[in-house]
Amino acid sequence: MFYTHSYSSPLGELTLAASDQVLTGLWFVGQKYYADTIKGDHEEKSLPIFDQTADWLDIYFSGREPGFMPPLSLNGSPFQMAVWEILREIPYGRTMTYGEIAARIAGQRGIVRMSAQAVGGAVGHNPVSIIVPCHRVVGANGSLTGYAGGTDRKAELLKLEQADRSGLFIPQNGR
């Protein structure tokens, strides 16, 4: 059984999902791939994991780095899991390119190259936005592209973290 909970953030309403004691999803309402990991029945319910996640989000949206991580359960392919693990290693207020992640995955797998586009697909399907910081991934040319929650939100999240945004831009087509 999955449980859901709503959280009002300064950037829009968020939906949190959990299976009892671990967070399994966090999405901006209406974002691309919204709630796509919730399978079967679910109900709106107050749980301690939602309180803990709300505390994390309160600290984060106040412009500070939370000093803890809510318990997470991410489910994806081995490739997605490897990409999401790298996302979790990107420091608060820093960015990494899709190509840099692809190079790390290639190194882990002992291959010469990995597709940055494949990495982009895995980043886009991250089920726990913000906490697993997919918003910290940018294009090689500095474009703020590929954020399922929208490029404007991606820019705002990086601004909130006081990331160096010089050289970063939102592409004209908004992607």
Per-residue pLDDT of the chain (175 residues; tens, 9 = 90+): 889 999 999 999 999 999 879 999 999 998 887 777 777 788 888 999 999 999 999 999 999 999 999 999 999 999 999 999 999 999 999 999 999 999 999 999 999 999 999 999 999 999 999 999 999 999 999 999 878 899 999 999 999 999 999 999 998 864 4
**Closest listed residue to residue 11, CA positions, set 55, 57, 56, 46:** 57
48/54 Cα distance (integer angstroms): 10
pLDDT of residue 47: 94
Beta partners for residue 2, in sequence order: 42
pLDDT of residue 39: 73
74: Cα within 13 Å, side-chain hemisphere: 23
**Which of the residues 134, 138, 157, 163 is marked catalytic?**
134
Beta partners for residue 4, in sequence order: 17, 44
pLDDT of residue 173: 67
What is the pTM assigned to this prediction? 0.93
**Closest listed residue to residue 27, CA positions, set 136, 152, 125:** 125
Question: 11 by DSSP, 3-state: which?
Answer: coil
Query: With 0-12 CB in 10 A as exposed, 13-18 as middle and 19+ as buried, what is 142?
Result: middle
> What single string gives the DSSP state of each residue in 75-86?
---HHHHHHHHH
pLDDT of residue 132: 98
> Is 105 designated active site?
no
